Chains A and B, each alone.
Chain A
Amino acid sequence: MKQIRRILIANRGEIAARIIHACREEGITSILAYSSADKNTLPVEMADESVCIGPPRADRSYLFIPSVIGAAKGLKADAVHPGYGFLAENGDFAEICEEQGLIFIGPSSKSIRLMGDKAAARALMTKIGVPVIPGTPGLVHSAEESLEAAGDMGYPVLVKAAAGGGGKGMRTAETPDELAAAVHEASEEARKAFGSGGVYIEKFMKNVHHVEIQIMADARGHVISLGERDCSAQRKHQKLIEESPSPLMTGTLRENMGKAAKKAARAAGYCGAGTVEFVVDRQGQFYFMEMNTRIQVEHPVTEMAVGTDLVRTMIRTAQGEPLPWDKDLVPRGWTIECRINAEDPARQFAPSPGVLKVYEPPRGRDLRVDSAMKEGSVISPFYDSMIAKVIVHKNSREEAINSMEQALGQFHIEGVPTTIPLQKQILSLPAFREGRVDTAYIETHLKDILQNMKEGKS
């Protein structure tokens, strides 16, 4: 077992701040690798050490493997935490870390590659008996093949890039006419973002919830489930609100989904924190979508729901420690998270970079705000527009929703438009209150939601 003493954090924003906190609590030196655009950000201030690795463009800094590795080696880090996004699910990066004697805080490059190829992952799940969404067994190679497959499974269909993730490289086609464009766009987007444009086709599941299982595994092959997160409130495959438990969860369903998720992790030889995403229909049937081999944006939901620290546990399992639990964890009470972005819902969600003239996050019991912002912080045009994540934990769903409404009401931001008004509107929807918001709901009702938002209705 190799004791980790110095971790290079290859990320920025709130997740960098989150990892710095975890390092501090573990007595580990945090070294933040940042781009010149992020020089004056809070994580650079917070980290024990920091190093500028390149210019603002991510492909010359946060995504540029030689500079990240060079910085880690030069500053004698013994481990690298990739956070989420950027290099977090890059098998080559994990492999280079392994070769360079750096502990990659995450699964092996082999597990990343296996699950990173969404088409291969589907095939693996079918083999081990985990139900998958009906779809093509592998990649589609021609227009005729796409049309035939989509016709067989019935429209609408979802075109997905095998290398996709984070909502990128995904398009729906409602009719055969839309299919060719959907294939082209999904493929091109994935080629640009991930360097590979292969796509497969899945049936577009209607009236389903997005329910994902958080798993944690150690190097000895011990895997446990930490319960679910329901992330059905989405817009364009971008999650807006996440909660645990899922409104449609039952004890039996959780047990069965947990079993399937653990089976998936074992089949991938998994180690560390991972998420197995499923869709669940009204009858309680669940289907594997994909496995994310990283810590996720919404991990605080699980941390508050089961009362643990996933990032610290990641560090510990990465240095070879066994999991601290011997059985599955079940969410207690109700936990909800809202993502607050610097986007203008009234203007097609245009990213709105700018300076936070006022930044006053809400405070309170059972309330957590994960952010790397303070008054005067700049929302940079170079990266994603997240300002903060607000998480509340209460005894019941109703209390949690009310408490979230209060928290958002107290969140005072000036200088850039934010998604707070939209989030408030969603929380007030009868469908949300009743736990009926499925993955298509927000998109389908967006016009009305935005109209009510404009009129200040609640």
Chain B
Amino acid sequence: MDKTDKEWIQELMNKFQQSEITKIKIRCGEIELEMEKEASRGKKSSGIISETDTDGQEGSQNPAEEEILSPLVGTFYAAPSPDEEPFVKEGAEITADTVVGMVESMKVFTEIPAGVQGSVQKILVHDGDFVEYDQPLFTVRTEQP
């Protein structure tokens, strides 16, 4: 295997990683290559968005949907204070910097930036709920269908 082959394989691996394909087998001359990966659910972005374990559910039907995950364990607050309107409502247009809620742990309030641009599709938790690290809080539609 020469250098060009290695580069070719590296490129294939990168393309495979970015694609929606989960399994591929290629034979080309003497080289036989087999790659397999888990189905991705939504694109990765901004640290708090990640592939979430959906426990056996098949890959998301809609690739343009992402989840905002809790950045820490604690109590979730949907509004800046009990008398105020929630940070966001379902349907709200948000950018990566939009604060969508807060998590309180030991009286320290941590704002949750959306980390993604789109519209809030569903709010998955209630004000005052105890949430754990990486727990999905919102689903966001990132593209128009």
Q: By the criterion CB–CB under 8 Å, are A69 and B105 in contact?
A: yes
Q: Which residue of B lies closest to A100 (CB)?
A: B106
Residues 102-124 of B at the A interface (beta carbon under 8 Å): 104-106, 108
A39 to B52, CA, bound (A): 12
25 A-B pairs whose Cβ atoms sit less than 8 Å apart in the complex: A36-B133, A51-B73, A53-B72, A53-B73, A53-B132, A54-B133, A55-B133, A61-B133, A65-B106, A66-B72, A66-B105, A66-B108, A67-B72, A67-B74, A67-B105, A67-B133, A69-B105, A70-B72, A70-B75, A70-B105, A70-B106, A71-B73, A74-B73, A74-B130, A100-B106
Interface residues, chain B, with chain A CB atoms under 8 Å away: 53, 72-75, 104-106, 108, 130, 132-135
Contact status A53-B133, CB under 8 Å = yes
| Shortest Cβ distance from B105 into A: residue | A70
Q: Mark each residue of chain A from 135 to 167: 1 if its CB lies under 8 Å from any CB of chain B, else 0.
A: 000000000000000000000000000000000
Q: Decide yes or no whether A52 CB sits under 8 A from chain B.
A: yes
Known contacts A52-B73, A70-B74, A39 near B133 by CB under 8 Å: no
Report yes or no: A74 in contact with B134, Cβ–Cβ below 8 A: no
For A100, the chain B residues whose CB sits under 8 A away are: 106
For B134, what are the chain A residues with a Cβ–Cβ distance below 8 Å? 36, 52
CA distance A442 to B102 in the complex (A): 54
- Given A36-B133, A74-B130, A75-B130, decide whether A54 and B53 contact each other with a Cβ distance below 8 A: no
Task: Tell whether, in the assembled complex, residue A69 and residue B106 are in contact, meaning their CB atoms are under 8 Å apart.
Answer: yes
Extra contacts, 14 of them, besides A54-B73, A66-B72 (Cβ < 8 A), are: A35-B133, A51-B73, A52-B73, A52-B132, A53-B132, A61-B133, A66-B108, A67-B73, A67-B133, A69-B106, A70-B74, A73-B106, A74-B74, A74-B130
Leading 6 A-B pairs by shortest Cβ distance:
A70-B105, A74-B130, A52-B132, A66-B106, A52-B133, A70-B74
Considering only CB atoms and an 8 Å cut-off, how many residues of chain A contact the other chain? 19
The answer for the CA separation of A36 and B104 in the assembled complex, in Å, is 19
B133 partner residues in chain A, CB cutoff 8 A: 35-36, 52-55, 61, 67
* Chain B binding surface, main DSSP class: loop
Cβ contact within 8 Å between B73 and A70: yes
Give every chain B residue within 8 A of A65 (Cβ-Cβ).
106
**Nearest opposing residue in chain B for A76, CB measure:** B130
Known A51-B73, A52-B73: A71·B106 in contact at CB below 8 Å? no
Bitwise, A55-96 to B at CB < 8 A (1) or not (0) is: 100000100011101110111000000000000000000000
Tell me, rounded to whole Å, the shortest Cβ–Cβ distance linking A387 to chain B: 25
Complex alpha-carbon distance, A301 and B133, angstroms:
36
Chain A residue at smallest Cβ distance from B107: A66
> What sequence of 0s and 1s flags, for each residue 25-40 of chain A, a beta carbon within 8 Å of any chain B beta carbon?
0000000000110010
A151–B75 CA distance with the chains assembled, in angstroms: 58
A54, B135: Cα distance in complex, Å: 10
Q: How far is the CA of A66 from the CA of B134 in the complex (A)?
A: 16
| Chain B residues, Cβ within 8 Å of A35 | 133
Residues of A within 8 A of B75 (CB): 70, 74
- A35, A52, A65, A75 interface centre (most CB from chain B within 10 Å): A52
Complex CA–CA separation, A97 to B53 (angstroms) = 32
Collect the chain B residues with CB atoms within 8 Å of residue A36's CB.
Answer: 133-134
- The smallest beta-carbon distance between A38 and chain B, in angstroms, is 12
Provide the bound-state CA to CA distance between A67 and B130, in Å: 12
